[in-house]
Amino acid sequence: MKQLTKSDYHRHPCFNPEAKGLYGRVHLPVAPKCNIKCNFCDRKYDCVNESRPGVTSSVLSPYQAKIYMEKVLEKEPRISVAGIAGPGDPFANPEETMGTLRMIRKNFPETLLCVSSNGMGIGPYIEELATLQVSHVTITICAVDPEIGSKIYSWVTDNNIIYRGLQGAELLLERQLVAVKKLKECGILVKINCIVIPGINDHHVEAVAAKMKELGADLLNCMAMFPNVNTPFGEIPQPDKAAMKEIRDTAETYLPQMRHCTRCRADAVGLLGEDRTNEFRSCLSDCAT
Ligand code: SF4
Ligand code: SF4
């Protein structure tokens, strides 16, 4: 296996703003199910942890993802990163996710691998992620206080048992904190996504930033919640630009901020400022059939 170096890591356009105009990413939509329920999420759409609402993505098997990757690289060789960001959670679909990562690592040794998860199920896979040289992982953490978490998550599931309220939020937080710590021990770059929800956790982002700094996270991406009328948080307005700037400026005293996130779909492809998702849609659906 080719050993990727720290200089290869700079080719990730999300973690390095300077790479934004030079390199792109492809999201491989291999993970349809989710293992938690966020109160801002409408599961008819992609995971809003990484993706903005849109049409539901085609879902690929690991082998189909490899074929799709070949076609994408043929037409867009500037793609440096293959990521898995849904449309559900990668580790609610661990066989598909790990199968895809193994397949991509074997066939595309130069490609950076990236995963975005809510952190609930990632724990048992972290060592293999490191072995596969998955260099970048995003964990979405909206609260480090289970009381606040219990307002954000209606349930979490583990081994076919559903946990609700405070119990669910406690379990999720415990998994998230262990995951961030272990990812860092394994030398993986960790970005934290925090969805900012007015009146629920907007006053709490500083505490999230402080805790994540303590655990060694590398980057924080504060994302304004998009209200969706079909969800329990449908009536909560989106935080405005001034509020987000203030939150990011405060959080920046703890951790570097990602300010160039374009909130890509689970099947996004292209450079961040030169998205080619629509152009590749038929290629994706051809590979999915
Ligand atoms: Fe939805 Fe993503 Fe939350 Fe799962 S983790 S409920 S897919 S927003
Ligand atoms: Fe990068 Fe944001 Fe797109 Fe994820 S959603 S690939 S962090 S730009």
Where residue 218 sits, what CATH number does that domain have? Answer: 3.20.20.70
Task: Return the percent helix, strand and coil in the chain, to nearest 5.
Answer: 40, 20, 40
Q: Whose CA is nearest to atom 1 of ligand 2?
A: 14
For the chain, the first-to-last Cα distance in angstroms comes to 31
Q: Whose CA is nearest to atom 3 of ligand 2?
A: 264
On the question of pLDDT at 54 being above 50, the answer is no
pLDDT at 43: 75
Residue 250 lies in a domain: yes
On the question of pLDDT at 47 being above 70, the answer is no
14-44 pLDDT tens trace: 888 888 889 999 999 999 999 999 999 987 7
Does residue 89 have its Cβ closer than 6 Å to ligand 1?
yes
Residue 3 lies in a domain: no
Which region, left, alpha or beta, applies to residue 155 given φ > 0 means left and ψ of -120 to 50 means alpha? beta
Mean pLDDT of 117-131: 98
232-261 pLDDT tens trace: 999 999 999 999 999 999 999 999 999 887
* Closest ligand to residue 88's CA: 1
Parent domain of 189: 23-284
> Ligand 2: which of 115, 195, 260, 264 to mutate, most ligand atoms within 8 Å of CB?
264
Chain center to CA of 199: 24
Residue whose pair of structure tokens reads 């849904």 in the numeric block: 86
ipTM of the complex: 0.89
Residue 12 lies in a domain: no
Q: Which residues contact 241 (CB under 8 A, 6 or more apart)?
A: none
**Residues of the chain above pLDDT 90, percent:** 73
pLDDT at 40: 93
266-276 pLDDT tens trace: 788 888 878 88
Residue 16 lies in a domain: no
> Ligand 2: which of 261, 265, 269, 272 to mutate, most ligand atoms within 8 Å of CB?
261
Mean pLDDT of 206-230: 95
Does residue 262 have its Cβ closer than 6 Å to ligand 2?
yes
On the question of pLDDT at 94 being above 60, the answer is yes
Does residue 31 have its Cβ closer than 6 Å to ligand 1?
no
- The alpha carbon dihedral of 172, 209, 81, 227 has a sign of positive
Per-residue confidence band for 198, with pLDDT thresholds at 50, 70 and 90: very high
Spatial distance between the Cα atoms of 173 and 79, rounded to a whole number of angstroms: 33
Q: Whose CA is nearest to atom 6 of ligand 2?
A: 264
Residue 242 lies in a domain: yes
Tell which residue, 116, 119, 111, has the closest CA to residue 81. 111
Q: For 257, phi and psi rounded to 5 degrees?
A: -105, 140
| pTM score | 0.94
On the question of pLDDT at 48 being above 80, the answer is no
Domain count, the chain: 1
